[in-house]
Structure 1
Amino acid sequence: MTRFADDLALAHVLADSADSISMARFRALDLTVTAKPDLTPVSDADTAVEKAIRSTLSRTRPRDGMIGEEFGHSVAAAGLSQRQWVIDPIDGTKNFVRGVPVWATLIALMEGSEVVVGLVSAPALGRRWWAAKGLGAYAGRHQAAATAIRVSGVSRLADASFCYSSLTGWEQAEKLDGMLDIMRRTWRSRAYGDFYGYMLLAEGALDIMVEPELSLWDVAALIPIVTEAGGTFTDLAGREGPGNGSAIATNGPLHADILDILGS
């Protein structure tokens, strides 16, 4: 047991509540979808899940801060706590509203600038992934059916399975040539997108996952799962931490190669 075991247990409780709400709205004929100012979609499930998580946290962790995709930042009581919960109620909303089952609730706990707990729950896939600092990374249908997970040992790009979110963002970041170079040099490339590529990486099913643009709530929960599974997680400049706006996640041995190609 680590000192974050209770927080991880709470994250599972939060995820259980989120799953019951989101699954009830998944493929619902009366699902309401609106557009944010940036034209990305938000459904009534997104807002309902985040409200439920915030309500539970306000009762169980009143001294902790919260930040979520839909309702922004809530300061910790008296502003004394360095702990902050980071919530993405539905990562993969575009999949959710189209009936594609690859979406998840992302829940993370930060102490200062470090993410110490991460949980990803994808109820339509019947799978959940979680980790806490010093506790390792696990996956299963729920906490009582857990299997330890570990990244792969692939050490050559020619043998690697490469994953990305889309090519459009890389073109906008003026790094499309680098992406195409990686695709040519790796054994296989697929665009699974959102949380899913990172979880497959943590399980050892693929070896590299990259994204050019991310918000804190998109990435915070993913970091401890990848790193506790033995992987490496940085931004395009090689900096660790969740707030840098981009991601290179690998099994470790391949990280320097990807940084050389995309970080230049």
Structure 2
Amino acid sequence: MPDYHDDLRLAHVLADAADAATMDRFKALDLKVETKPDMTPVSEADKAAEELIRGQLQRARPRDAILGEEYGLAGTGPRRWVVDPIDGTKNYVRGVPVWATLISLTVVGEGGYEPVVGVVSAPALGRRWWAAKGGGAYTGRSLTSASRLRVSSVGKVADSSFAYSSLTGWEAQGRLDGFLDLTRDCWRTRGYGDFWPYMMVAEGSVDMCAEPELSLWDMAANAIIVEEAGGTFTSLDGVRGVEGGNAAASNGLLHGDLLGYLNQRYQ
């Protein structure tokens, strides 16, 4: 198996730079915010953080391709970095501290590009999570000061905690009834939103999470961290990987149940 330790170290360096840039503008009274064609917000901090990451990657990994939410794809090849400069921009612009920079290295595999390194850095929460393929998943303040992540061992829906982002999107896909049934049958549900539910699955504080509409940069870093923590990450249709446009993540024991609820209309 290839060793991705140097790439993981680089991802931490990139996250450090992004953290400094995003925290510098967090809660700034003069923060500039625009609306993108898909009607989602983008702040000057989103753009600045992605430009910063791209610049460092172009110097450190000039042969690698880069795909970012704000500036698209640059380059070609079997290695592609995937960047979401601020996952949770709506929180960021309102002063809610639940947002993070997501950085992942993906490589060409059997089913397309597969995440092999992931860093999720949430500086306003004072938290960071990371993983490299075959090396486990961790959380802490640095590579040398970290604790290993492990998913929960909860095996019954009635005992489980389910997290999500919002109700938006479920009804359009015909999955709202199954979603609501799941929330009724679980022990606990919370709408933490964005990257955070996946990190909670990885650290065992939440057992399942799902979202109906996502882009690659929303998923790549989360997926490798969940899987290296012993969990399962698929599309809502049960296909492993990050190119399905949506996501379901769990401790693995509950994954069949999770997909069963969210695919009720197909049964």
| Alpha-carbon distance in 1 for matches of 2:142, 2:202 | 17
Aligned to 1:109: 105
Which amino acid letter does the alignment assign opposite residue 209 of structure 2? M
Return 236-245 or 85-94, whichever deviates more.
236-245
| Alpha-carbon distance in 2 for matches of 1:168, 1:86 | 25
The answer on whether the counterparts of 1:162 and 1:183 sit within 8 Å (CA) in structure 2 is yes
The answer on whether the counterparts of 1:67 and 1:84 sit within 8 Å (CA) in structure 2 is yes
Which amino acid letter does the alignment assign opposite residue 88 of structure 1? D
The answer on whether the counterparts of 1:164 and 1:192 sit within 8 Å (CA) in structure 2 is yes
Q: How far is 1:247 from its partner? A: 0.6
The answer on whether the counterparts of 1:92 and 1:194 sit within 8 Å (CA) in structure 2 is yes
Which of the pair is proportionally richer in helix? 1
| Alpha-carbon distance in 2 for matches of 1:149, 1:241 | 20
Aligned to 1:237: 237
The answer on whether the counterparts of 1:127 and 1:142 sit within 8 Å (CA) in structure 2 is no
Aligned to 1:175: 175
| Alpha-carbon distance in 2 for matches of 1:2, 1:26 | 38
Which amino acid letter does the alignment assign opposite residue 177 of structure 1? D
Which amino acid letter does the alignment assign opposite residue 201 of structure 1? V
| Alpha-carbon distance in 2 for matches of 1:258, 1:15 | 32
Aligned to 1:95: 91
What is the CA deviation profile of residues 131-166 of structure 1, one whole-angstrom value per residue up to 9, with x for unaligned ones?
Answer: 000000000123232110100000000000011111
* SS class of match (1:225): helix
| Alpha-carbon distance in 1 for matches of 2:194, 2:87 | 7
Aligned length: 260
Aligned to 2:159: 159
Q: How far is 1:242 from its partner? A: 0.8
The answer on whether the counterparts of 1:92 and 1:103 sit within 8 Å (CA) in structure 2 is yes
Instruction: Show structure 1 runs of 5+ residues with no match.
Output: none
What is the CA deviation profile of residues 24-68 of structure 1, one whole-angstrom value per residue up to 9, with x for unaligned ones?
Answer: 000011110010011100000000000000000000000000000
Q: How far is 1:2 from its partner? A: 5.9
| In the alignment, structure 1 residue 85 sits paired with structure 2 residue 81 | yes
Which amino acid letter does the alignment assign opposite residue 16 of structure 2? D
- Which 4+ stretches in 1 moved above 3 angstroms? none
Aligned to 2:137: 137
* SS class of match (2:47): helix
The answer on whether the counterparts of 1:2 and 1:135 sit within 8 Å (CA) in structure 2 is no
* SS class of match (1:125): coil
Q: How far is 1:173 from its partner? A: 1.4
What is the CA deviation profile of residues 84-108 of structure 1, one whole-angstrom value per residue up to 9, with x for unaligned ones?
Answer: 0000000000000000000000000
Q: How far is 1:111 from its partner? A: 0.5
| Alpha-carbon distance in 1 for matches of 2:64, 2:105 | 9
* SS class of match (2:139): strand
| Alpha-carbon distance in 2 for matches of 1:223, 1:64 | 20
Q: Identity rate of aligned residues, in percent?
A: 61
Q: Say what the alpha-carbon RMSD is for the aligned residues.
A: 1.0
Equivalent runs, 1:1-264 vs 2, <5 Å: 3-76=3-76, 81-112=77-108, 113-263=113-263, 264=266
| Alpha-carbon distance in 2 for matches of 1:131, 1:2 | 14
| Alpha-carbon distance in 1 for matches of 2:174, 2:2 | 43
The answer on whether the counterparts of 1:129 and 1:140 sit within 8 Å (CA) in structure 2 is yes
* SS class of match (2:170): helix
Which amino acid letter does the alignment assign opposite residue 96 of structure 1? Y
